[in-house]
Structure 1
Amino acid sequence: MDQTKLKRVALIVAMCHFMDMMDATIITTAIPTIAVYFHSSTALASITITAYIITLAVFIPISGWMSVRFNVKRIFLLAVLIFTAASLGCALSPSLPLLIATRILQGIGGAMMFPVGRLIVLQKAPKSDLLMIISFLVWPALIAPAIAPLIGGLIVTYASWHWIFLINVPIGIVAFFLSRRFFDDTAGDRTARLDWKGFALIGVGAGGLVLASEILADSAASWTLGLVLFLLFAAELVLTYRYLKRAQNPLINLKVLKYRTFRISQVGGSLFWFSVGSAPYLLTLLFQNEFGWSPAYAGSIVLFIFVGNVAIKPASTWLLNRFGFKPVFIGSFLAVIATMLVSGWFTAQTPVLLLIVVITLSGMGRSLALTSYNTLSFSELDAQETRDANSLASTTQNMAQAIGIAVTVVVLRFGSELFGAASSQAWAYRLAFILLAVFATLALAEILTLPRKTGSAILKHRDPAGKSPR
């Protein structure tokens, strides 16, 4: 596949990933409206979020096997078709149970869509183009959580909640026809057998851990129930890990963890995602609940995370080629840690310009770090190893996003109970932002152990003037 076609395929996959990520986050702002529409409680309406996230956790691990067993182009097209049709079904749902059912169907499509699409791109991309291709694939994870509060707030305020799902339909149709044109057909391996035991174990553990996280994040739910379930499913995942290590043909081959670059990207990357994945959510809560801002205004300020993502993106490839992975990691981590700590001391009297500057710098740091993580993750893997690594990476990222937000909400609940008085709620948010900074610091500590030249084989080094390659 030539470079021009590869870029087009990567952008199509990124467009679908953006649709998926946006759908997972934008609905949060519409839950109260959906509850009123269906004459239900907010807790019941929130099942539409939980059902989608759990479905992703359960079905993402099977995407690697499907990409081997079947024609990957057809699997991707089917995933886009399911997601788009389910989005329309969500908007047309006449009852809450049917909305939940179509959200589950949406999750099945989403679970196949990005992992299979990313695998198609990664297996076709030469190592020399990996940094460029990853920069295309990573932007939805950076942008969608940042702009979702604003888009969701505008839709809920000025339109109907149905449009949260209807906006997926034209995007899905365009993605479907572009995929038919630019994706290559590949023959599947009919002899590839599904590891049903591994699928069941991973699905129960990953889905259960996400469910426990959602319970912990629900202020109306029992702390004890959430904690017990979390520990139970975490133990089940430990047993699953032992099974996958011993199995002859496991659903996910853990041998890819022997590569230090991939292992660090999963461990440190998950810790880092705890931090940056929760930040837009936490800022939105702070601005609305403590500052008394409208959803649309709060979303417009959180949007500057996206501005930072976009502002640094043209320079990210140059920075990595010029300085290497480790220095860029360190600089981006320090930016994220500093901005998280400063955000904890935001008040309603803080100048809006200062809020914008800090949030923009935070967006720059997260963009650089996540681009670096995603590139480094696949830098040493061959085509077969990339398939196994892709399934594992997609599973851990989905779990990290859910668990990170849950942990943040738990800290807010703990802080609220600890400090009690409404005037002291600011300290609950400070504790939460400090926790996000701690997560990023732990990830930085792991990065500091990397050799200085890690990942240099896939970079195009330049001289100090930034002109000719060495």
Structure 2
Amino acid sequence: MSAAPPNGTPAQGMPSTAFLFLIGAGFFMQGLDTTIVNTALPAIAAALGESPLQMQPVVVAYTLTMAMLIPASGWLADRFGTRQIYFAAILLFALGSLCCAAAQTLPQLVAARVLQGIGGAMLLPIGRLALLRSVAPEQYIAALATVTIAGQIGPLLGPPLGGLLAQSASWPWIFLINVPIALGGLWAVRRFMPEGKLDQAAPSFDAVGFLLVGACMVAFSLALDVPAGEHHDDWAMGLSAVSLAAALAYVLHARRRDNPLFRLGLFRDRNFGVGLIGNLVCRIGSNAVPFMLPLLLQLQLGFTPLNSGLMLVPAAAGGMIGRRMISGLIKRFGYHSFLSVNTVVVGLSIAAFGLIEPGVPLWLQIATITIFGASNSMQFAVMNSATLRGLDPADAGSGNSLFSMAQMLATGLGVTIGASLVNVLGSNLGSTAHGFSGAFVLLGVVTAFSALIFRRMRSPGSRPIKR
């Protein structure tokens, strides 16, 4: 992704309040949409005549689409300008939201989520790029911090708002709420956003590499989502083979191409390779929680949609508090020691959700959720920094793009694996309650295991982290 400013010169000083509000609105919509759906899934399932534990494609379709399209966002901005692409992103997101609200069946809803994900994939990266091309370098961090606040508010409001709308109105409103925000954003793009188009021609895009990487991710995700059974096992093995073949084909392709989608040389940086794998393993458990916990609260503990959404607010609040503690902890213990210990804390807190059952005091449930939120937020921030901070400047853009793809892929994998574990364990152990308990414990163990992966990272010292 190019960092060149429009017309060759970045604007001086801070941009207008309206411009910052516009970028923040994109961060807010994306952050809200990734969390608002989860608490409403049981209500959506009931309306569509589906089982709540079969609703994971609603989440996976959105996150997988975002993961696939992230690498293309920078090239599209270089080719057509940040204003044009940001306008298209908001428009597609709004159209996808309308289609979601109008869906009458699960396949229709999944297809609409794909359309919504196409727009959502470009909101954050193009928003960051628009800031980078419109703000003086010395003002960029302050401007990004300002709009990031909106991104933090979205996940904080998402769960209770989704529960409130599902309980007091109807589930389509969790998607329709995006429309007025998007309409205001479309007007503001035309009014306040610079064109952001490069003077020189955009570099060539590795379309073949893009298709191979996309095929690898989609086939792998579908293979994990195939139900168990003799017939289905053949499908799962076939899809796994397709995923592996696409990965190997990309390696051969990248070796022959001068400017591949992702340079293989990225993995010469040990911390990047180890960190990428560690992130993927660790995030599977962490990203399963926002999907599974509302289902546990509503289906097993009898919480209303609104109350289950309110129970997730401590996780978001704990996350905001935890981020303020990171710098001091890293300075005292270093990246290596922090990740080794905090990863285990995250895993234990996930496993603890498996012990929540009727009769467990409410304060203990809230305390467990808060500890998870704080430790998980710190984990994400430190993992991100430790993985990316050692890359050469020439590889930073490509490495960040690949890392962002892995993050979104892990979200989909977490939801798919979590739902599959509940279904399989529930069938084998005789009840859905036991399925939830066993799934949380197993996911917690896998998350804690990733601490062993992070121990292979070289200690990078105690330079400031990237949030």
Q: TM-score, normalised by structure 1?
A: 0.80
What's the counterpart of residue 456 of structure 1?
462
Does residue 1:282 correspond to 2:292, yes or no? yes
Cα displacement string for residues 243-270 of structure 1 (whole angstroms, at most 9, x for unaligned residues): 3431313223332232233323321111
Q: How far does residue 157 in structure 1 lie from its aligned partner after superposition?
A: 1.0
Distance (whole Å) between structure 1 residues aligned to residue 222 and residue 342 of structure 2: 32
Q: Which residue of 2 aligns with 1:444?
A: 451
Deviation at 1:332, TM superposition (A): 2.7
- Summarize the Cα distance change of 1:270–1:138 in structure 2 as closer, same or farther, 3 Å threshold: farther
Number of residues paired by the alignment? Answer: 452
Q: Does 1:79 align with 2:89?
A: yes
- Asked if 1:394 is matched to 2:394, the reply is no
State which drifts further: 311-320 or 352-361: 311-320
Match of 1:325 among 313, 319, 335: 335
- The letter of the residue matching 1:456 is S
Superposition deviation, residue 165 in structure 1: 1.4
Tell me what 1:239 maps to.
248
Give the structure 1 partner of residue 279 of structure 2. Answer: 269
Structure 2 equivalent of residue 181 of structure 1: 192
**Contact map agreement 2:275 2:386 (CA 8 A) in 1:** yes
Q: Structure 2 matches for 1:15-26, cutoff 5 A? A: 15-26=25-36
In the TM superposition, residue 325 of structure 1 has moved relative to its aligned partner by: 2.6
In the alignment, the residues of structure 1 paired with residue 17 and residue 392 of structure 2 have an alpha-carbon distance, to the nearest angstrom, of 20
Amino acid aligned to 2:274: I
- Over aligned residue pairs, what C-alpha RMSD do you find? 4.0
1:192 aligns with 2:203: yes
Aligned to 2:37, the other structure's residue is in SS state helix
Aligned counterpart in structure 2 of residue 434 of structure 1, from 414, 436, 441: 441
Counterpart-to-counterpart distance in 2, 1:259 and 1:116: 27
Q: Partner of 2:381: helix, strand, or coil?
A: helix
**Helix, strand or coil at the partner of 1:456:** coil
2:418 alignment partner, one of 403, 408, 432:
408
| 1:25 CA displacement | 4.6
* 1:418 has 2:428 as partner: yes
C-alpha contact (below 8 Å) 2:99/2:109 kept by paired residues: yes
d(CA) in 1 for partners of 2:338, 2:24:
24
Amino acid across the alignment from 2:251: R
Q: CA deviation at 1:59?
A: 2.6
| CA 1:210–1:5: 2 relative to 1, 3 Å | farther
Corresponding residue of 1:206: 217
Residue 379 (structure 2) pairs with residue 369 (structure 1): yes
Q: Structure 1 residues 221-230 or 64-73, which shifts more? A: 221-230
Identify which range, 390-399 or 66-75, moves more after superposition.
66-75
1:307 paired with 2:307, answer: no
1:101 positional shift: 5.1
**Structure 1 residues 89 and 281, CA gap change in structure 2 (3 angstroms):** closer
CA distance in 2, matches of 1:237, 1:104: 22
Distance 2:166 2:59 in 1: 16
User: Contact conserved, 1:65 with 1:251, CA < 8 A, in 2?
Assistant: no
- Following superposition, the deviation at residue 361 of structure 1 comes to 0.8
**What amino acid is aligned across from residue 170 of structure 1 in structure 2?**
P
Whole-angstrom CA distance in 2 between matches of 1:329 and 1:66: 36
- Which deviates more from structure 2 when the two are superposed, residues 324-333 or residues 42-51? 42-51
Contact 2:160 2:310 in 1 (8 A): yes
- 1:308-354 CA-to-partner distances (Å, cap 9, x unmatched) read 11222333344445544334333432321221232222221111101
Instruction: Measure, in 2, the Cα distance between the counterparts of 1:187 and 1:312.
Output: 39
In 2: Cα distance, 1:246 partner to 1:383 partner: 21
Unaligned runs of 5+ in 1: 461-470
Separation in structure 1 between the aligned mates of residue 142 and residue 358 of structure 2, nearest angstrom: 40
